[in-house]
């Protein structure tokens, strides 16, 4: 899958989980930059990503996804 496709799909997921239709994703985006993205909602986000891309993360991999850019790379490596 192309990086841009992943980014687009991810944007849809983010917008759904955080109820924010105007959210725009960038590689450098972290939890600090998005309202409502905290440890309480993080797992919900992860679950949605796993479902949408049909992948399964390992616990170790969670720590390596500090920002959206890391996420995209991790996702690409699994599909």
Partner 1 sequence: MVFTSFNFLLFFPGLIAVYFLTPIRFRWPVLLIASYFFYINIKPVFALLLVYISLVTYLLTRLMEKTEVESKRKTCLLINITLILLPLIFFKYFSVINNYLINFLAIRDLRWPLPEIKLFLPIGISFYTFTTIGYIVDVYNEEIEVEKNIGILALFVSFFPLILSGPIERAKNMLPQLKALNKFDYHMVVQGLKLMLWGYFMKLVVADRIGIYVDAIYNHIGQHNGKTLLFASVLYPFQVYADLGGYSLIAIGTARILGIQVMQNFKRPFFATSMSEFWRRWHISLISWLTDYIYTPLSFAFRKFKVWGIVIALMITFFISGIWHGAALTFVVWGIMQGVFLSAEALTNKRKALFEKKHQLNQKAWYIFLGICFTFILFAASQIFGRAESLNSALQVYRRIFTIPGALFIGSPAYLIYSFFGLVMLLFKDFSDEFMPSRFLLFESKHKFIRVLAYSSIIILILLIGVFDGGQFIYFQF
What is the nearest approach in angstroms of partner 1 to the Cβ of residue 47?
Answer: 5
Site residues (CB under 8 A) for partner 1, limited to 28-47: 35-36, 38-44, 46-47
Instruction: Compute the distance between CA of residue 53 and CA of residue 55 in angstroms, rounded to an integer.
Output: 6
Our CB check for partner 1 shows the closer of 3 and 64 to be 64
20 Cβ contact partners less than 8 Å away, ≥ 6 residues apart: 14, 34, 35, 36
What is the nearest approach in angstroms of partner 1 to the Cβ of residue 63?
Answer: 6
Tokens standing for residue 74: 């991790």
Is residue 55 part of the contact set for partner 1 (CB under 8 A)? no
């Amino acid at each position: 899958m192309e990086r841009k496709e992943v980014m687009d799909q991810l944007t849809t997921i983010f917008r759904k989980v955080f109820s924010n239709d105007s959210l725009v994703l960038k590689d450098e985006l972290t939890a600090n930059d998005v309202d409502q993205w905290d440890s309480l909602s993080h797992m919900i986000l992860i679950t949605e990503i796993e479902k949408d891309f049909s992948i399964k993360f390992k616990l170790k991999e969670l720590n390596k996804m500090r920002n959206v850019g890391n996420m995209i790379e991790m996702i690409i490596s699994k599909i």
